[in-house]
Amino acid sequence: DTGVSQDPRHKITKRGQNVTFRCDPISEHNRLYWYRQTLGQGPEFLTYFQNEAQLEKSRLLSDRFSAERPKGSFSTLEIQRTEQGDSAMYLCASSIQALKGNTIYFGEGSWLTVV
Amino acid sequence: KNEVEQSPQNLTAQEGEFITINCSYSVGISALHWLQQHPGGGIVSLFMLSSGKKKHGRLIATINIQEKHSSLHITASHPRDSAVYICAAYGNKLVFGAGTILRVKS
C-alpha cells in the first residue's frame, strides 16, 4: 500500500493522558498536513510541514499539541494532558509542492476519544 | 465569515435527480479541490480545478475564478453517491468548507 497511512486508527484515552499519532506520507511527497475534524464539520487546519520544516501552525494548536517531522518523512502529532474537547478525528495528508496546486492524498484518519 | 462556504449543508435527493453543490471562497487560490468523505472518515479527492470544467463519469466540477465560485454536479444520482462532499481551497494550504451531507434515496 503506497498511500498515506496513519496509526493508530482509533485511540481511547483517559483525560490527562498523553497520546501520539503517526502519519506516514507517500514517499516522494515533501508536504505533510495535519487537520482535525469533529462530527458535522469539515476538517480544520492544524499545521503543515515542507520536508522537515514546520511552516505554519494554526491558533487551534494549543501548547499541549506538538508536531514533528524529524527526517522529512513520517510525522508525529502529540497531544499532552488530553481533554475531552480533544476528541476528534486527526487527519493527515501529503502532497508534492507544485506551482499550480497539487493533488493531495489523505490518510484515513486517527479517531481520538477522550473519556 | 469562513474563508470557504458551501451550500447547501444538507441535501436529500431522489435517485436519478441532478444535484448541485456550491462553493464560494474568499481567499486567493491556485487550485480548488472537491473531496468525498464516506462514514468512517476516508477522504477521496474527486477533482482538482484551477480553471474551467472537469468531468469524471457522472460528476462534473466547474470553477469561475473571477467570481470565486465553484460547483459540483452529479447527474443521474444514485444511493451510492450518498456521502459528505467537501470543497477545499488551496493557497499555500488547504482550507476546507464545512461539507455538504448528501443522501440519495432509492
Contact A41, A47 (CB under 8 A): no
Compute the distance between CA of residue A91 and CA of residue A108 in angstroms, rounded to an integer: 7
Averaged over A41-66, what is the pLDDT? Answer: 90
- Determine the pLDDT at residue B34: 95
Averaged over A63-87, what is the pLDDT? Answer: 95
Nearest CA in chain A to B5: A42
User: Hey, how many other C-beta atoms are within 10 angstroms of the C-beta on A110?
Assistant: 23
pLDDT > 90? residue A64: yes
Whether chain B has a CB inside 8 Å of the CB on A44: the answer is yes
pLDDT > 60? residue A99: no
The more confidently predicted of residues B75 and B26 is B75
Of the ranges A68-72, A87-91, B38-42, which one carries the lowest mean pLDDT score?
Answer: B38-42
Please identify which residue in the block is written with the cell numbers 453517491.
Answer: B81
- Determine the pLDDT at residue B95: 87
| Per-residue pLDDT band at A1 (split at 50, 70, 90) | low
Whether chain B has a CB inside 8 Å of the CB on A11: the answer is no
Tens digit of each residue's pLDDT (9 = 90 or more) over B19-57? 999 999 987 888 899 999 987 768 888 999 989 999 999
| Per-residue pLDDT band at A32 (split at 50, 70, 90) | very high
Set of chain A residues whose Cβ sits within 8 Å of the Cβ of B98:
40-42
- Determine the pLDDT at residue A46: 94
The more confidently predicted of residues B42 and B81 is B81
pLDDT > 70? residue A110: yes
Q: A-B interface: how many C-beta pairs under 8 angstroms?
A: 65
Averaged over A53-69, what is the pLDDT? Answer: 91
**Cβ <8 Å between B99 and A48:** no
Averaged over A59-71, what is the pLDDT? Answer: 91
**Cβ <8 Å between A45 and B95:** yes
**Paired sense of beta strands B52-56 and B59-64, if any:** antiparallel
Please identify which residue in the block is written with the cell numbers 474563508.
Answer: B3
Closest by CA to A69, choosing from A92, A102, A103, A38, is: A92
DSSP state of B51: S
Whether chain B has a CB inside 8 Å of the CB on A74: the answer is no
- Determine the pLDDT at residue B41: 67
Q: How many CA atoms lie within 13 A of A34 on its CB side?
A: 32
The percentage of chain B sitting over the pLDDT mark of 90, rounded to a whole number, equals: 71
Whether chain B has a CB inside 8 Å of the CB on A48: the answer is yes
- Determine the pLDDT at residue B16: 97
| Per-residue pLDDT band at A102 (split at 50, 70, 90) | low
- Determine the pLDDT at residue A60: 80
User: Which of A104, A108, A112 is the best residue to mutate to test the B interface, defined by the most B CB atoms within 10 Å of its own CB?
Assistant: A104
Whether chain B has a CB inside 8 Å of the CB on A88: the answer is no
The more confidently predicted of residues B42 and B77 is B77
